[in-house]
Amino acid sequence: MIFTTKEVDFAIEINEYGQPYVNPYFGCTAGCPFCYWLSIPGWEGKIDIRLNIADQLDRYCREREAERPRLYMGSYCDPYMEEVETEYQLTRRCLEVAARRRFPLTLCTSARSDLILRDMDLLRRIPELTIVAELCRLDQMERLNRGEDHVGVRMANQLSCAGLRVNATFAPVLPGVTNLAAVRERLAEDIPLYIDVMHVEKGSVQETRILERISALRPDLLDVYRAFFAGERPEMDREVLEMAGGDNIRLFPMED
């Protein structure tokens, strides 16, 4: 992993749904084989540390103080990557801006760390805050298989218990690999859990990485996943979709 520091000319990027996103970092250390950002040239294997991101965010908020649009933090980065956030604290500085300027915020984290608990003082001050905990991380599945806890589930439960609004996601569900039942069993009942099937294009880097991971974790399922990518997906999709509706499990799209 290559770490570089840089300054940016603006803090906000508008996604295809018109949502203003701020990413304190560019890149992610989670290494998920299904991540759609793998398709961006130059994204994998590097982390850009955007040193002046909070100042640029403050300027954006100052210019839009009258309308105060909802901000979204964390799309092609995890704002709470311990490898960088512990030292640079750019996410915390951006939260300070959102709290001071009173902008509503949706904060998304890959939930492999409970570093977010450090910022409880700021999170409580942000209006209409929603925290999204992404719980489908294979390293956390391995922790569950070893009888250890899921860091993200523990973090989500603590935030919800503290009175903050938390949504959880588990996407994609990988039958035979990810353990949705174990996560739902440990997740607080009042936290909605949004799931989805796998959306991966044939011949993509994601297909290659997923098959490599299946080969290592569940070689007995390799033919099943190869058939899925070849277009024989209804049965696997049905298995996922039938999980929704019970135990507070929902399908995307997620509510703000």
Q: Is residue 210 part of a domain?
A: no
Q: Is residue 86 part of a domain?
A: yes
Q: Taking the mean position of all CA atoms in its chain, how far away is CA 176?
A: 22
| pLDDT tens for each residue of the chain, 256 residues long | 999 999 999 999 999 889 999 999 999 999 999 998 999 888 889 999 999 999 999 999 999 999 999 999 999 899 999 999 999 999 999 999 999 999 999 999 998 999 999 999 999 999 999 999 999 999 999 999 899 999 999 999 999 999 999 999 999 999 999 999 999 999 999 999 999 999 998 899 999 999 999 999 999 999 999 999 999 888 888 888 888 877 789 998 886 6
**pLDDT value at residue 253:** 81
**pLDDT value at residue 256:** 60
The edge-to-edge listing of strands for the beta sheet with 2-6 is: 2-6, 46-50, 25-26
> Is 133 in contact with 160 (CB distance < 8 Å)?
no
Q: Taking the mean position of all CA atoms in its chain, how far away is CA 97?
A: 21
Which pair of structure tokens corresponds to residue 219?
A: 């070689």
Q: Is residue 26 part of a domain?
A: yes
**pLDDT value at residue 242:** 87
Q: Is residue 128 part of a domain?
A: yes
Q: Is residue 256 part of a domain?
A: no
Listed residue (158, 180, 218, 171) closest to 198, CA to CA: 171
CATH number at residue 175: 3.80.30
Angle between helices 90-101 and 53-63 (to 10 degrees): 20
- Residue 210 backbone phi and psi in degrees, to 5: -65, -45
Q: How many residues does the chain have?
A: 256
Which pair of structure tokens corresponds to residue 35?
A: 């991540």
Q: Is residue 192 part of a domain?
A: yes
Cβ neighbours for 71, distance < 8 A, ≥ 6 positions apart: 12, 20, 21, 22, 98, 103, 104, 105, 106
| Burial label, 55 (beta-carbon count in 10 A; 0-12, 13-18, 19+) | middle
Between strands 249-251 and 193-195, the pairing is: parallel
Domain range for 162: 2-200+236-251
Listed residue (147, 149, 146, 145) closest to 111, CA to CA: 149
Q: Is residue 91 part of a domain?
A: yes
Q: Is residue 228 part of a domain?
A: no
Domains in the chain, number: 1
